[in-house]
Amino acid sequence: MNKFLSSFLTVLFISTIISAQGFKVKATGTQTFNFEDKNGRNQASFFSATPLEDITGTGNVVLGSVTFDVANFAKTLKGKISVKVSSINTGIDLRNHHLQSSNWLYADKYPEISFEIVSISDVKQTADNKLEFKVKGNFSMHGVTKEVVADIDATYLDENDQTRKRAPGDLLGVHAKFNINLSDYDVDNALIGNKVAEKIEISINIVGSNK
């Protein structure tokens, strides 16, 4: 009985530590970070391979926010990030036009691609102000929403002279990566006649401010 009780308390203690895991920074309580950047420095990108060349597209009109309790990040994180389809640039005007047409992403009907947080797991604290974790989220594109899992690392920066050069307030830097299958979103994998890979790699590199 004592052995069982000891094991139970150990599991409870570990679970409490994990659930309360968060940033060890100056800020306390609930913080909201907005990722809109009028200078276009925030980016969401995709990568795909074709028989003739690799294709990379980058969208720099990123919107959305996340909210969390600084000391209890894993239990409180919520939010949604989106990118304007019209801002995606592949480096070739004709390809951009095709990408945004009704044959592909259909920007006029579905102007945004979004990722909404559902849950967080596998939190690892790599520094007082840095966390690595997985996020299960609803990814919406071309009028279809599917659940995906993203690998994310986040860095919390207290406001200082250097961070103010980017934006006022504390900053949150986020790097995320995940894969999707085009067929899941009713998108044909032909782009100007070339077959692109069914699996698309998506990465997000954004910085938000709490002011």
Residue spans of the domains in the chain: they are 2-209
What's the half-sphere exposure (Cβ side, CA atoms, 13 Å) at 79? 24
Beta strands in 60-185 (DSSP E): 62-69, 78-84, 88-89, 112-127, 130-141, 144-157, 171-181
Question: What confidence score (pLDDT) does residue 194 get?
Answer: 66
Instruction: Tell me: pLDDT of 137 over 90.
Output: yes
Who wins on pLDDT, 195 or 28?
28
Give me the phi and psi of 125, to 5 degrees please: -90, 115
pLDDT tens per residue across span 49-96: 877 788 899 999 999 999 999 999 999 999 999 999 999 999 999 999
Residue range 84-110: mean pLDDT, rounded: 94
Instruction: Tell me: pLDDT of 18 over 50.
Output: no
* Measured torsion, CA atoms of residues 152, 157, 163, 168, in degrees rounded to the nearest 10: 100
- Residue 77, token pair as written in the block: 């994180």
Are 171 and 63 contacting, i.e. CB atoms less than 8 angstroms apart? Answer: no
Pick the CATH number of 2-209 from 2.40.70.10, 1.10.3720.10, 3.50.50.60, 2.40.128.110: 2.40.128.110
Question: What confidence score (pLDDT) does residue 3 get?
Answer: 56
What's the half-sphere exposure (Cβ side, CA atoms, 13 Å) at 27? 25
